[in-house]
Structure 1
Amino acid sequence: MTSVSTPATWLAGYIPDIPTPFDDNGALDLAAFAELCERQIRAGISAILVSETGGEASTLSPAEQESIIRTAVEVAQGRVRVIAGAGSNSTSQAIEQTQRAEAIGADAVLSVVPYYNKPMQAGIHAHFRAIAISTALPIILHDVPSRTMRELSDDTLLRLAESKHFIGLKDGSGDITRLLRLRSRLPLGFRLLSGDDATALAFIANGGDGCISIVSNVAPELCQTVFSSSRMGRPQTARYLQNRLAPLTAALTKESPAALKYALCLLGFMSPATRLPIVELADAAKGEVASAIAAIGDEDIACPVESRHGPHLHENSLAQS
């Protein structure tokens, strides 16, 4: 478990927002989930995010969330940090989720701006401060106005960042200019991560620290190479690889997490099952996902030849889907 006093040097690069697999009866498939976590660790990521947007956290019971976080901690065994989703539009519930994640052994939590309630900025500030004083875990703030209907304003973020409890921001706004406004005004070591795969490279190239990513679930090595190429001053390589990922990014973000689950099903990692109100993809969307994966090629996705979910589809069969 990471303390708030520990510098967040690990909060960088592409960090996957891992989906929650379900079995044929709609229960958690923890074996498949463990396999997804281990695959990411082998790819060299620094952290994994679980029980969050990609993990359909809003449809998980508290007991299921605990099982997911505990499994991630057991698989990680200290090799990477485990970030647990712990957001709610109820401050008391967000505190409870945060404290459960801490007790289980998570290294940090991701806490979203309260949604639906549409609180004023003073309420948002008070919400996050209440969470901070309830835990010893570091907190990553999550700003995604398209889902919450309220933004985390620059002024509110800067006030929160004065406290060592808050170590970073997942910025889902897609606004690159915000990064340029904030970078020099934030404390040294406060991490800025994109929450938007489509603009992640531009975000990183302009001083961002990484991306909390959906696409990294499918092509983790390729995403890590995009990041390292940008960091090493190889922008042409980074842009070339990002362009290769563009069709997959577009296909996955249209109907996430259903599209992500279908992609990982094609690769043999999990069932495509979702929970209502999310439903599985229509045939046309399935074809788009399959074509996008085929365009990248097996060698850059490192598919398993076979798993308990059945043999994965090779490039030719994907192209025919």
Structure 2
Amino acid sequence: MKAFEWTGVFPALTTKFNSQEELDLPLFGKNLQAQVAGGVNGIILGGSLGEASTITEGEKESLVKFSLEQLEGAIPVVLNIAEGSTREAVRQAELAQAWGADGLMLLPPMRYKADDRETTAFFRSVAQSTDLPIMLYNNPVDYKIEITLEMFESLIEEKNITAVKESTRDVSNVTRLVNRFGNRLKILCGVDTLALEELVLGADGWVAGLVCAFPAETVTIYRLVKAGKIAEALKIYRWFLPLLELDLHPKLVQYIKLAEQATGIGSEHVRAPRLILEGAERARILKIIQDGIAKRPQL
């Protein structure tokens, strides 16, 4: 894989397990092929949706190498880094490069609410440790640390910090970033329920969640917006919204895995402490998914 553009749809892929909580690479491969057939532009491994906090270093290596082998350079393979210490984040970046990953998604320090100076130093240390292109994940809602415009101003001195996953929940931030930095930073929407809005405002891509179960619909919305066919995109997006809202819940992993199972490209197996949904909650979520499948639009 040569240098790539942070544009288009990048699924934050779920990590597939069997009933014994072991990595299920054949099922992961089935979903990966569905993503490719749907037209995605890259994949992200080991994110929040990939159960980052429960997968081992060896499993990350297996996922990266398996994906590279399956994809044969067709689209980039990006590995997420979510670590508590700068030293460990740097080590993970070096491992990702050694394993052959094409890029990194980088979260701020985990478990400690670093201030602006500390957060900037953390990102800079990782960037300087690798040649890989980096997308910074700006999600102050979930991770309590915001990457401000002033911080980006400093961080773009690092040439390989080239994109931002925009998850502030403030769609105006897309315009602020474009006004300040032009095309220097690619902007990818990281919130499924705001994707159409942010793409219309000029976001370059979409780090998507429900794409794991509905790849073709996700890619179609992206392509229609970029072709200026907003009314056509909106029709699909309105159908999609009840499903996209599953991405906003603390149990997004369980909800999206249930959707993958319902569409035939995944299973609902998760790794503890997460548990498979049951009872009224499972019935309620499954109804949302089945209603969506029943009304699935013709593309």
Fold equivalence (TM over 0.5): yes
1:131 paired to 2:126: yes
* C-alpha separation in 1, matches of 2:281 and 2:13: 21
Q: Does 1:34 align with 2:29?
A: yes
Residues 219-254 of structure 1: per-residue CA shift (max 9 Å, x gap): 111111111111111111111111110111123432
Secondary structure in structure 1 of the residue aligned to 2:269: coil
Instruction: Supply the distance in 2 between the matched residues of 1:168 and 1:301 (Cα, whole angstroms).
Output: 32
Shift of 1:298: 6.5
Aligned pair in 2 of structure 1 residues 141, 78: CA closer, same or farther (>3 Å)? same
> Is the Cα–Cα contact under 8 Å of residues 221 and 300 in structure 1 kept in the other structure?
no
Give the alignment partner of residue 257 of structure 2, picking from 241, 244, 261: 261
Instruction: Report the AA paired with residue 191 of structure 1.
Output: K
1:141 Cα shift?
Answer: 0.4
Q: Following the alignment from structure 1 to structure 2, what is the Cα–Cα distance between the partners of residues 98 and 139?
A: 10
1:70 to 32, 50, 65: 65
Structure 1 match to 2:286: 290
Q: What do the CA deviations read for 1:183-235 (whole angstroms, capped 9, x no partner)?
A: 12115242101110001110100011121010111111111111111111111
**Aligned CA distance change for structure 1 residues 187 and 134 (closer, same or farther; 3 Å):** farther
The aligned counterpart of 2:273 is 277
The aligned runs of 1:57-206 (5 Å cut-off) are 57-206=52-201
SS of residue paired to 2:252: coil
Cα RMSD over matched residues? 1.8
Which residue identity is paired with 2:86? T
Gaps of 5+ in 1: 303-321
Moved more, 285-294 or 79-88: 285-294
The unaligned stretches of length 5 or more in structure 2 are none
The DSSP-based 3-state class of the residue aligned with 2:53 is helix
Q: Does 1:237 align with 2:232?
A: yes
Contact 1:221-1:301 at 8 Å conserved across structures: no
Contact conserved, 1:115 with 1:147, CA < 8 A, in 2? no
Q: How many pairs were matched up?
A: 297
Query: Which deviations, in whole Å up to 9, do the C-alpha atoms of 1:267-314 show, x marking residues without a partner?
Result: 233331112222222333333333333333379599xxxxxxxxxxxx
Choose 288-297 or 235-244, whichever is displaced more.
288-297
**Deviation of residue 76 (structure 1)?**
1.2
CA distance in 1, matches of 2:152, 2:246: 32
DSSP-derived class of the 1:71 partner:
helix
Task: Rate the CA distance shift 1:68–1:112 in 2: closer, same or farther, 3 A.
Answer: same
Q: Would you say the 8 A contact 1:50–1:83 is kept in 2?
A: yes
Answer yes or no: is the 8 Å Cα contact 2:42–2:77 preserved in 1: yes
Taking the aligned partners of 2:294 and 2:44, their CA distance within structure 1 comes to 25
Q: 3-state SS of the aligned residue for 1:211?
A: strand
Q: Is the CA contact (8 Å cut-off) linking 1:248 and 1:293 kept in structure 2?
A: yes
Question: Counterparts of 2:35 and 2:297 in 1: how far apart (Å)?
Answer: 12
Paired residues of 1:102 and 1:137 also in contact (CA < 8 A): yes
The DSSP-based 3-state class of the residue aligned with 1:184 is helix
State the AA in 2 paired with 1:257. Answer: V
| Counterpart residue number, 1:56 | 51
TM-score (norm 2): 0.94
Cα distance in 2 between the residues matched to 1:78 and 1:177: 35
Query: CA 1:298/1:14 → structure 2, altered by over 3 Å: closer, same or farther?
Result: farther
| 3-state secondary structure, aligned to 1:59 | coil
SS in 2 for 1:68: helix
On the 8 A contact 1:17/1:214 being kept in 2, the answer is yes
What's the secondary structure of 1:57's corresponding residue? coil
Name which of structure 1's ranges 227-236 and 180-189 shifts more when overlaid on structure 2. Answer: 180-189
